[in-house]
Structure 1
C-alpha cells in the first residue's frame, strides 16, 4: 500500500504490516545527521573563541572584560535538563543544546516503546540509540518533529563550523528515471536522485556505473567521430 511521507510528501510504499509515516529517503537523511552530530561537537568546541581577540584592558562602564567566547556556540554546547523536546508554547529562545536535543529524543523514543533509556555516556551513544530505533520512529506522527529539530541543530552547527556538506554530481544517469541528476553528499550513505528521489548505496551506484557507462562512452565516441568526419567532408574542396 502506498501513502505520502509526512515529511517530504513523496509517495512511498509501506513495509510489511507497519504503516510508515516517513519514507526511506527521509529516514536516511536523519541517519546522516545522527552520524554527523558527534563529528560536529569537537568542531563547535574549536569555534568557541571569538574571531577577534578580547579587548585589551577594561572598557569604560564594565567591571570586567567581556567574555571572549561566542554565546551561540556556548548555547549549543551547554547542558540542559531532560524534558520534552518540542516547544509548544514558544518559550525556548534559540536552538536547544545539541546534547539536550539528542538526549530528549532518545528519551522520547524509549518512553514511546515502554522501555528504560540505557545510561549511556552523553553524545554518540544516544545518537546511535536513536538511529537503531528509527524504523520504529518512522511509524510515529512525531517523526516530523524529530526530523525538523535534529535537522535544525545540525544546520545551526554547520553554519558555525563552516562545514556545509559538499554535493557532488555523478556521471551515470538514474536507473529509475534516466535523469542525469544523481548526487552524493558528505555524511550521507546514499547516492540520491534529485529528480525522482531514488536512493542507491555507493556499491549499488558503482555496479550501475560499471554497467551503463561503457556503452554510453562508446556511443559518445561514435558520435564525436561521426561529427568530426562530417566537418572534414564539409571543409574538403568541391
Structure 2
C-alpha cells in the first residue's frame, strides 16, 4: 500500500501500488469535476454586477463608468487558450496574475493527462462536451500520476473560489437505513458525489446499492419501531 498524495490526507491508496490517491479522494476528484460543470450556469448568472447605491461624485453619480460585469467571474469564464498548455506549473502561465480561466486550467491538466497516458494525439473535446467531462473519463489513469494529489488540491482551491461567487455549498443529507457494514445510522448523500458514504466506517455505496439495501432492511425496522411504540403506549396506559 502507498500513501495518498493529496495534501493532508492520512489514508493509503490501497493494495494497488500504482495508485497515488485513496478511494475517498478519487471519489472526491470525480465530484469536483462534476460540480464544476454544474456550477457554470451559476457563474453565468453571477456575471452581472449587483445593483448598489451610486457613489463617487457630489451628484450621487459615478466618477468613472463601472465595468458592466464582475471581473472575477469574467476571468473564470474566459475562453481557454488556443495554444497547447503542456505544464500547469511552468511557462504556460506566462506573466498572467490571478486565477486562470476554468477552461484553460482544465485543458492544462488534460494535456498533462495525455502525456501521462501517452496518447498518440493531443486531447480534444467534441462539441457540447467539456474538459471536465474529458478529465472525468480519465480519472482511472489520473490517480496513477505522480501529480494526482496536486490536481486534487488545485481543484479544491478552484471550487472554493467558484463557491464563494455563486454562494453555494454541497448539501449533505442523512439517510434512513443503517450502514450494511457497521450497522451505524451514518449513511449520508452529498451533492455532486457519486456514492452514498458511511461517516462511521467510510463504506461507499452506489445509489442503486443503497436503494436495494434500504428495501431489504427498512420494512423490518419500521415493524420494530411500531412494536416498540405500541409497547411503550401500553406501559404508560
Which range, TM-score by smaller chain?
Answer: 0.7 to 0.9
Task: Check if 1:114 corresponds to 2:115.
Answer: no
Q: TM-score, normalised by structure 2?
A: 0.82
What secondary structure, in the 3-state scheme, does the structure 1 residue paired with 2:219 have? helix
Per the alignment, do residues 80 and 120 of structure 1 end up closer, same or farther by CA in structure 2, a change over 3 Å counting? closer
**Alpha-carbon distance between aligned partners in 2 of 1:181 and 1:93, rounded to the nearest angstrom:** 43
**Alpha-carbon distance between aligned partners in 1 of 2:32 and 2:49, rounded to the nearest angstrom:** 26
Tell me how far 1:118 sits from its aligned partner: 2.7
Per the alignment, do residues 121 and 97 of structure 1 end up closer, same or farther by CA in structure 2, a change over 3 Å counting? farther
Tell me how far 1:44 sits from its aligned partner: 1.0
1:58-78 CA-partner distances (Å, limit 9, x unpaired): 858x87412132122122112
Number of residue pairs aligned between Structure 1 and Structure 2: 226
Task: Check if 1:76 corresponds to 2:79.
Answer: no
Kept in 2, the 8 Å contact 1:191–1:200? The answer is yes
Tell me how far 1:194 sits from its aligned partner: 1.7
Task: Check if 1:150 corresponds to 2:155.
Answer: yes
Kept in 1, the 8 Å contact 2:125–2:134? The answer is no
**Alpha-carbon distance between aligned partners in 1 of 2:89 and 2:219, rounded to the nearest angstrom:** 51
**Alpha-carbon distance between aligned partners in 2 of 1:83 and 1:140, rounded to the nearest angstrom:** 15
Alignment correspondent of 1:235 = none
For residue 105 of structure 1, the aligned residue among 106, 109, 126 is 109
5+ unaligned residues in a row in structure 2: which ranges?
A: none
What secondary structure, in the 3-state scheme, does the structure 1 residue paired with 2:130 have? helix
Task: Check if 1:6 corresponds to 2:5.
Answer: yes
**Alpha-carbon distance between aligned partners in 2 of 1:87 and 1:147, rounded to the nearest angstrom:** 18
Alignment correspondent of 1:20 = 19
Q: Which structure has the greater CA radius of gyration? A: 1
Kept in 2, the 8 Å contact 1:55–1:65? The answer is no
Kept in 1, the 8 Å contact 2:111–2:123? The answer is no
**Alpha-carbon distance between aligned partners in 1 of 2:150 and 2:190, rounded to the nearest angstrom:** 23
Kept in 1, the 8 Å contact 2:116–2:145? The answer is no
Per the alignment, do residues 28 and 78 of structure 1 end up closer, same or farther by CA in structure 2, a change over 3 Å counting? same
Task: Check if 1:161 corresponds to 2:160.
Answer: no
5+ unaligned residues in a row in structure 1: which ranges?
A: 233-238
